[in-house]
Amino acid sequence: MNILEKARAVAATVTDPELPMLTLEDLGVLREVDLDERGHLVVSITPTYSGCPAMATMRDDLVHRLQQSGFGDVSVKVSLHPAWTSDWISERGRNALAQHGISPPGAAPQGPVTLSLLPVRRAVSCPQCGSDDVSLTSEFGSTACKAMYRCRACLEPFDHVKEI
């Protein structure tokens, strides 16, 4: 394993501060792990939302974890393009979300933006009991990336990671 592969493997263990069952890699936030011209490690991350308040924590966690693993000089840079999409959440990440009671996102919308005046129709099932009989409570939830649902079968509320 070369130094970059090792650094990438370490960075890939850092978890999201708001969704701790997900690593930044599974969330798709961790982009490049590279060396700059001085041979220092540079890690790129892409914010999930413009106002994501967890970016500073992600950066600190990456720097701390890499420094603990012997990478002395580490910097974290922001990568704004291409914009993060929920499609970047890995299969392992989706399974981890579901196992922790959070409904994973479907495919992100493509093409022109359309106005939709009816509630979003998603193929969502309850992560607790598996029932498809669920209703949307709100398109906005406890963090920028989640919508709130309620299961009509087991009556439990749950979060759904929004398609974006």
Partner 1 sequence: MPHSLNSDANPVHHDVHESVYDGLLVNDAHWAFGTDFEDPLAGVDTTVPDGVDPAELATYCLMLADDALIYSQRLSQWISCAPDLEEDIALSNIALDLLGQARLLLARAAAADPSVVPALPEGSPVPPEDALAFFRGDQEFRNVRLVEVENGDFAETIARLLIFSSFRLAVLERLSSHRDAVLAAVAAKGVKELTYHRDFAGRWFLTLARGTEESRRRLLTALERLWPLTSELFDTHPVEASVGVDPAVVADEVNVILEQVFAMSEVTRPTASPLAGVQHRKGRDGLHTEAHSLLLAELQVVARAHPMGQW
- β 102-103/157-161 pair status: parallel
Question: Which of 12, 21, 98, 144 lies at the binding interface for partner 1 (CB under 8 A)?
Answer: 144
Region from 7-15, 88-96, 123-131, 134-142 binding partner 1, contact rule CB under 8 A = 134-142
CB 7, min distance to partner 1, A = 16
Cα-Cα-Cα-Cα torsion 159, 161, 162, 164, nearest 10 degrees, comes to 170
Closest CA to 49 of 151, 140, 155: 140
- Under rule CB under 8 A, residue 57 binds partner 1: yes
CB 37, min distance to partner 1, A = 14
- Under rule CB under 8 A, residue 28 binds partner 1: no
* Interacting residues of 44 by C-beta distance below 8 A, sequence separation 6+: 30, 31, 32, 33, 34, 76, 77, 78, 79
Count Cα atoms within 13 angstroms, Cβ side, for 65. Answer: 20
| SS3 state at 150 | strand
Question: Which of 12, 21, 154, 164 lies at the binding interface for partner 1 (CB under 8 A)?
Answer: 164
Question: Which of 8, 28, 84, 149 lies at the binding interface for partner 1 (CB under 8 A)?
Answer: 84
Question: Which of 37, 68, 116, 121 lies at the binding interface for partner 1 (CB under 8 A)?
Answer: 116
Is residue 54 within 8 A of residue 62, CB to CB? The reply is: no
- Under rule CB under 8 A, residue 77 binds partner 1: yes
- Under rule CB under 8 A, residue 65 binds partner 1: no
- Under rule CB under 8 A, residue 10 binds partner 1: no
Closest CA to 76 of 51, 49, 54: 54
CB nearer partner 1, residue 99 or residue 138:
138
- Under rule CB under 8 A, residue 105 binds partner 1: no
